[in-house]
Amino acid sequence: MLKNIYKIFKKRSINMASQANSKLTPEHQNLNRETTKLQLNQEEQEKKDKQYLKWRHNL
């Protein structure tokens, strides 16, 4: 349940960041987009790492 709550807040923070992003200059918008992409890539990598550890543990 806590994971679901965390995911909801994570999505809301990304949505709020994108709304605030529309008020920024183009240079700052690009920086924010890159930061968001890096955050999402990091989350995906963490998921893959967890899956690998589970798989490795089951061997």
Instruction: Please report the pLDDT score of residue 17 as a whole number.
Output: 63
Average pLDDT, the chain: 80
How far is 27 from 12, CA to CA, in rounded Å? 23
Tell the residue number behind the tokens 């994570």, with chain if given. Answer: 10
Q: Which two tokens stand for residue 47?
A: 């998921």
Q: Which two tokens stand for residue 59?
A: 């061997």
pLDDT in tens, 6-25: 677 777 776 666 666 567 67
The model carries a pTM of 0.48
Name the CA dihedral angle for 32, 33, 39, 44, rounded to a multiple of 10 degrees: 170
Q: Which two tokens stand for residue 24?
A: 């920024």
